[in-house]
């Protein structure tokens, strides 16, 4: 029975963040499937040996009203599922605002469904991804440098949710009236009995949320143990990055909670002859990946701005060009912008504004359009391995492909694994997808996906 094997469920507020959480569990051999909609118990039972599951959402790109519409049915279904932990998974850079991707709104909605624990644990650091929280201040690595969040070259200049505050408590306080406590790095030091006592004192103060500092795997594991020991018979709702998944998997192993069935079988994955890359990302990390791939010989095709906004009519010449290049054996890279300074970004934003599309809706418009293009190309070309770059883009493209679930089949770069798709249609079932957020992967990421396997 699935009820006896489940350890954790998570909802990801963006698509690539959801695959990051899935990877953290799968690399530790806890079989995890990521769904595009909250699954029924009957659907979960179809996946033998399932330990964890996730729901990939798009709330990070929505205003509070739209977030609530998306979250309520998901939380309602998760609350009906017998699972000890339910995790609202945020980006590891915590990018959000009162207007877009409001994490406080998600917490508010969760209170109607998960009532067993007054204090919601909050953890954003993830050492495996280069994310650290010290005395409540958050830091993120970019290439070889670790930046305080409000000085991060990308996140401080994010086009929708710029992070101008590194103190996670102050940042979140703009989104929720709940009091936020802190289990700081010193309070997590020392023998575990002492840590447990300090944790009990924090809970006795009854904050609405309790933020955990994260510097290394040792403190991460302590946070997981503290939370797991307090669950009891009621589901514990928690918030934060995939640091929770890394932490819980490590603790479960140490506590003897072995996976019900192995999750990762990379020896079954074979290298691809060619791939299609679809990018709606404008981050400098993706920019360097695009430049590296073009230099390697990938055939780049920039999607015209007018086409991206007229998504009711697919441009036949563009589709024919992509199919022709794939037919000639090329690896094709479709992209909407070459980086954060590309004039195409403002042109698209202005064009969408004239059509009455608000800023927070641009990701969906462009993502849906790229998804429709990708679907036509795949059906005509037979390509079976695809990379999608961009957190919001990945979610909308995958939905347009008619995919209902994903399972990791091979690690590629932390937070951006290669996955097997479960499709509603035979043509998309078994498709190999790699979904990467704007900040994920090295310069050679697209080539790494091409050559993943044996």
- Nearest C-alpha neighbor of 376 from the set 326, 445, 418, 412: 326
**Domains of the chain by range and CATH?**
2-254 (3.40.50.10840), 266-451 (3.40.980.20)
Q: What is the pLDDT of residue 130?
A: 93
Q: What is the pLDDT of residue 41?
A: 94
- Nearest C-alpha neighbor of 163 from the set 143, 149, 173, 153: 149
Helices within 297-342 (DSSP H only): 305-309, 316-327
- The pLDDT profile of the chain, 454 residues, written as one tens digit per residue, is 455 689 999 999 988 888 889 999 999 999 999 999 999 999 999 998 899 999 998 898 889 999 999 999 999 999 999 999 999 999 999 999 999 999 999 999 999 999 989 999 999 999 998 999 999 999 999 888 999 999 998 888 877 788 999 999 999 999 999 999 999 999 999 999 999 999 999 999 999 999 999 999 999 999 999 999 999 889 999 999 999 999 999 999 889 887 766 655 655 788 999 999 999 888 889 999 999 999 999 999 998 866 555 556 788 889 999 999 999 999 999 999 888 888 887 877 787 777 777 766 777 788 888 999 999 999 999 999 999 998 778 888 999 999 999 999 999 998 899 999 999 899 999 999 999 988 889 999 999 999 998 8
Q: What is the pLDDT of residue 1?
A: 44
Contacts of range 183-191, beta carbons closer than 8 Å, 24 or more positions apart: 183/210, 183/211, 183/212, 183/213, 183/223, 183/226, 184/135, 184/136, 184/213, 185/134, 185/135, 185/213, 185/215, 185/219, 188/212, 188/213, 188/219, 188/222, 188/223, 189/219
Q: Torsion-angle region of residue 44: left (phi > 0), alpha (psi -120 to 50) or beta?
A: alpha
Q: What is the pLDDT of residue 237?
A: 98
Place of tokens 């009236």: 177
DSSP class of residue 81 equals: S
Q: What would the DSSP string read from start to end of 176-236?
A: --S-EEEE-TTTT-S-HHHHHHHHHHHHHT--SEEEEPBSSHHHHHHHHHHHHHT-TTSPE
Q: What is the pLDDT of residue 417?
A: 93
Do the Cβ atoms of 78 and 57 come closer than 8 Å?
no
């Amino acid at each position: 029975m699935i009820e006896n094997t489940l350890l954790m469920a998570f909802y990801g507020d963006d698509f690539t963040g959801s695959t990051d959480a899935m990877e953290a569990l799968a690399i530790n051999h806890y079989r995890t499937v990521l769904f595009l909609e909250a699954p029924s118990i009957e659907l979960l039972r179809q996946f033998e040996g399932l330990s964890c599951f996730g729901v990939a959402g798009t709330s990070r790109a929505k205003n509070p009203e739209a977030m609530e519409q998306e979250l309520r049915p998901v939380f309602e279904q998760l609350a009906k599922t017998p699972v000890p932990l339910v995790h609202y998974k945020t980006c590891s850079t915590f990018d959000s605002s009162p207007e877009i991707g409001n994490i406080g709104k998600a917490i508010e909605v969760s209170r109607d469904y998960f009532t067993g624990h007054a204090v919601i644990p909050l953890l954003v650091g993830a050492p495996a991804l280069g994310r650290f929280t010290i005395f409540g201040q958050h830091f993120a690595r970019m290439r070889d440098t670790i930046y305080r969040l409000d000085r991060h070259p990308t996140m401080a200049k994010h086009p929708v949710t710029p992070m101008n505050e590194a103190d996670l408590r102050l940042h979140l306080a703009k989104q929720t009236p709940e009091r936020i406590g802190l289990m700081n790095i010193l309070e997590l030091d020392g023998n575990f009995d002492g840590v447990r006592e300090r944790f009990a004192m924090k809970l006795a103060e009854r904050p609405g949320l309790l933020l955990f500092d994260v510097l290394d795997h040792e403190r991460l594991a302590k946070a997981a143990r503290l939370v797991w020991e307090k669950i009891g018979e009621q589901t514990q709702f928690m918030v934060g990055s995939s640091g929770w998944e890394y932490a819980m998997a490590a603790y479960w192993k140490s506590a003897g909670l072995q996976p019900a069935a192995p999750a990762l079988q990379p020896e079954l994955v074979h290298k691809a002859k060619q791939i299609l890359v679809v990018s709606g990302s404008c981050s400098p990390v993706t920019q360097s990946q695009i430049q590296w791939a073009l230099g390697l010989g990938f055939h780049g095709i920039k999607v015209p701005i007018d086409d991206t906004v007229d998504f009711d009519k697919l441009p036949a010449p563009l589709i024919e060009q992509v199919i022709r290049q794939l037919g000639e054996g090329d690896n094709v890279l479709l992209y909407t912008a070459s980086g954060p300074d590309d004039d195409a970004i403002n042109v698209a934003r202005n064009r969408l504004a004239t059509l009455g599309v608000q800023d927070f809706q641009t990701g969906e418009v462009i993502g849906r359009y790229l998804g429709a293009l990708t679907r036509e190309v795949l059906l005509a070309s037979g390509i079976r391995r695809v990379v999608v770059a961009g957190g919001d883009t990945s979610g909308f493209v995958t939905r347009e492909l008619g995919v209902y679930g994903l399972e990791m089949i091979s690690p590629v770069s932390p937070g951006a694994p290669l996955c097997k798709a479960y499709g509603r249609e035979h043509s998309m079932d078994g498709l190999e997808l790699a979904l990467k957020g704007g900040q994920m992967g090295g310069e050679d990421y697209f080539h790494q996906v091409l050559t993943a396997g044996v």
